[in-house]
Each structure stands twice: as C-alpha cells, then as structure tokens.
Amino acid sequence: MIRTYKCRAKLSSSGHKKLSRVFQMCADLYNACLEERIDCYKKTGKSRTYYDQCKALTEVRADDPEYGSISVQVFRGAAGRIDKAFQSFFRRLKNKEKPGFPRFRKGERWRTIEINDQCWKMLRREGNKVILKIKGLPRIEVKPSQELPPNGLLKAIRITRKPLRTEVALSYELADVQPVEEITNPVGIDMGISKRLTLSNGETVRKREIDRSRIIRLQRSVSRKKKGSSNQRKALSKLAKEWQRVSERERDYLHRLSAELVKMYDFIAVEKLKTKNMLRDKNLAKSISEQTWDKFVTLLDEKAESAGVKVAYVNPKGTSQECSGCGATLKKPLSARTHKCGCGVEMDRDVNAALNILHRGISVAGGKLKESRIAGRMKMKRADVGPVRPRTVYV
C-alpha cells in the first residue's frame, strides 16, 4: 500500500528565489511539450509520446546549461504531467464527458515539482535533521511530524508551494496489513447534512459550519482593488492564506475523527454516495460540499487499511425508508425526522438508516447479521426508555 507523509519544508530566502526559478522552467517546458504535441498532430495526425519528449529533453539539457544543471527527474515530472493531461482528455472523450483540452500554464501558477524515480538517493539524514538534496534545487530541510519509514521504500517526492508555506509530500510503498478476521464490534455510518455523521449505535457527529466572516471581508477587499495591481495581489494572497487555514483545520479534524473511528470499531459500513450528482441540487449543493464526505471516506479508508479494519461500501438507496427491525418499506418525506413502523420500531431516521447500512455492509462482506450486539442493544433501549434519540459525542 502507498502512504504519503506531508511535511513542512524550511528554505532560506535565496532558496525560495531559486525554487521559483525552477517552477518557471518547469512551466516553460510544460508549455513547450504541449505546443509540440499540438503541432505534431496538425502536421502528421499523430501525437508525441512521453518517451519521445523525454528523448527531446535530453537534447534540450545538452544545449541549455541552465536546464542541464538541474536534475533530469525534475523535468521528467513536468513532461509526465502533460502526458497525464492528454490521457485524461482522451478518457473524457471516450466516456462522452466534457473533454477539457489541456491548456498552457503561467509560470506563477506552477507550484509543484514531482519526482518519481530514484527518490531514495535524495532524502538524507544529518543528525536529527532530514534534508532533501536534489541536483540544481536549493537545500530543503524537511520537518516530519512523525517517524518516517526507511528511505528504501520511498517512491515519490512532491514539493508544493502553498500560500502559507512550502510543503514536501513523501510517498512510501509499505507492506499490506492483514485485515481482522473476526468481527466483534461493527458499526454503520450514515452521512447527512443536519448531522454530519450518524452511527448505528446512536452517536452522532455535528455538522460542519464554516465561519465565513473573515473570508467575506477579505473577498470584498479583493473586489475593491484595481485588477492586476500590486494591491490586488496582496489582497489575493491574504484571501488564499485564510482559505488554506480553513482547509487545514478541516483536514486535521477529519484525520482525528477517522483515526478515532478506526480505533473503536473493527468493521465499518459506509454509504457509497455519488456526491457529484448530489451537487446538482442548487438548494443543497453548498451544504453538501461543506460536509466533505469524500475526504472523510478517503481518510477513513486509508487508516482502516493501515490498521487492518474492514470497510464495506453499500448502496444507500432506500436506507432511510426501510425499517431496520422488520425490513418493511415506509415512505416518508425528508422533513420527517422520526422513523415509526407498525412492528414497534421508533427511532431517529438517521439511526435507522445507519442500522440498515450496517446490515447491508455485513451482507456485502459475506457475513450474516441475525442479532448483532448493536441491534440487541437498540431493542433493549426501546423497551426500557422508549424511542431512541441520537446523542452527539464527537465535537
């Protein structure tokens, strides 16, 4: 399995300037590769391949000392990006989607260097420091937040300049972890808008609410500036930094939430939602995008794979309408927040949906759920205290 460690990078002021120059050179090479592919297709009806352009890159580095002074792996990453762009373009054409032909890139908008070969030679340890040394690039001190795997497992390096800082992403190929064989503590998760997550045991996660007051103020400041002026660039920089702070806080929270769920449960069933189709609803699009379901599921899947926890994806159709007690279908509008069935089951509709997701997940995994511990506990609660209501435990 591939795991990526994102680390902060420390550079000198001269190092930042040198890195900016390398970004510009990568953008120029990308645009040259794109122009070559377009011209070749117009003249011959065939396009250039990635290997053809790598051969041409060798000639460019021999003729231009500035390109020759920088590691060839840096520029192969730029040539690989244009190759991926064309592969995605043809894939969208084949699937009859909006094609989106590759575009030329401005140098100031090029912010990433990708290296996918011989990475283990570039990361070195000097005492307690981890140093990234790449030919032609400035000396970069990497500050990981946890212990890194051995360099021999390093497969890819990405250097990215963001509004707040420069970051280094190190991708390692680690051994697969064997999944847990015996399921003792399963859980189903229903994702929603009024409550971000509802678990099949009745616990919930509050919905995400973004404080947009500062973002709105900065956006208005950008709108008042003259287009293309230095003041507008400064205002745009402040706005981008604020958005990155919001994004980092959200990602940190999702990391902690997904890690906690993986520690608590050994089998997790989640909905396989088609978020792209759901965003077509103009009334709910903003609320849906704010909950970042896709990011949560991605992080949950990664952490579960590392811990050997099984994750099952189920079809969400009808989970809110089906009774978790008897299996009967009970149609109800979205405004009805309580599930009441003639069999005696009465609970919050999201808890009912989470239980149905758990039942389907165990079926997908090949197991049977005659009387799970969770289902038994829910029946005991209904008998003792009446209708089950969810309680919020994650903040």
Task: Say what the pTM is.
Answer: 0.80
- What is the pLDDT confidence band of residue 145, given thresholds at 50, 70 and 90? confident
CB 196 within 8 Å of CB 278: no
Is the predicted pLDDT of residue 160 greater than 70, yes or no? yes
Q: Per-residue pLDDT averaged across 289-297, rounded?
A: 87
**Dihedral sign, Cα of residue 177, residue 183, residue 185, residue 186:** positive
pLDDT above 70: percentage of residues in the chain: 92
d(CA 383, CA 262): 30
Average confidence score pLDDT of the chain: 85
Is the predicted pLDDT of residue 392 greater than 60, yes or no? no
What pLDDT does residue 384 have?
38
**Dihedral sign, Cα of residue 299, residue 391, residue 209, residue 252:** negative
Q: Per-residue pLDDT averaged across 260-268, rounded?
A: 89
Is the predicted pLDDT of residue 369 greater than 60, yes or no? no
Phi-psi region of 10 (alpha: psi -120 to 50; beta: other; left: phi over 0): beta
Is the predicted pLDDT of residue 137 greater than 60, yes or no? yes
What pLDDT does residue 94 have?
92
Q: Per-residue pLDDT averaged across 225-238, rounded?
A: 92
> Between 369 and 153, where is the model more confident?
153
Is the predicted pLDDT of residue 139 greater than 50, yes or no? yes
Which structure tokens are listed for 382? 């209904």
pLDDT tens digits, 40-82? 999 888 888 999 999 999 999 999 999 999 999 999 999 999 9
What pLDDT does residue 348 have?
81
d(CA 304, CA 98): 34
Element (H, E) at 247: helix 230-264
The C-alpha angle with vertex 147 and arms to 141 and 148, in degrees rounded to 5, equals: 70
pLDDT tens digits, 300-352? 998 988 888 888 888 888 888 888 777 778 787 777 778 887 777 778 888 88
Domain segments of the chain as ranges: 2-173, 186-209+244-394
Is the predicted pLDDT of residue 359 greater than 80, yes or no? yes
Q: Per-residue pLDDT averaged across 277-290, rounded?
A: 84
What pLDDT does residue 40 have?
92
CB 19 within 8 Å of CB 166: yes
d(CA 267, CA 186): 4
- What is the pLDDT confidence band of residue 127, given thresholds at 50, 70 and 90? confident
| β-strands 129-132, 123-126 pairing | antiparallel
Q: Per-residue pLDDT averaged across 141-148, rounded?
A: 88
Is the predicted pLDDT of residue 159 greater than 90, yes or no? yes
**Dihedral sign, Cα of residue 87, residue 92, residue 96, residue 99:** negative
Angle between helical axes of 349-364 and 373-385 (0-180°, round to 10): 160
What pLDDT does residue 367 have?
57
pLDDT tens digits, 72-120? 999 999 999 999 999 999 999 999 888 889 999 988 889 999 998 888 8
What pLDDT does residue 370 have?
41
Q: What is the DSSP letter of 190?
A: E
Which structure tokens are listed for 43? 């003249």
Q: Which CATH class is domain 186-209+244-394?
A: alpha beta
Q: Per-residue pLDDT averaged across 213-225, rounded?
A: 94
The C-alpha angle with vertex 173 and arms to 170 and 178, in degrees rounded to 5, equals: 130
- What is the pLDDT confidence band of residue 181, given thresholds at 50, 70 and 90? confident
From residue 205, give the alpha-carbon distance in Å to each of 158, 175, 310: 34, 32, 21
CB 208 within 8 Å of CB 254: no
- What is the pLDDT confidence band of residue 23, given thresholds at 50, 70 and 90? very high
pLDDT above 90: percentage of residues in the chain: 38
What pLDDT does residue 38 have?
93
Burial of 109 (0-12, 13-18, 19+ CB in 10 A): exposed
CB 137 within 8 Å of CB 74: yes
Q: Per-residue pLDDT averaged across 237-254, rounded?
A: 92
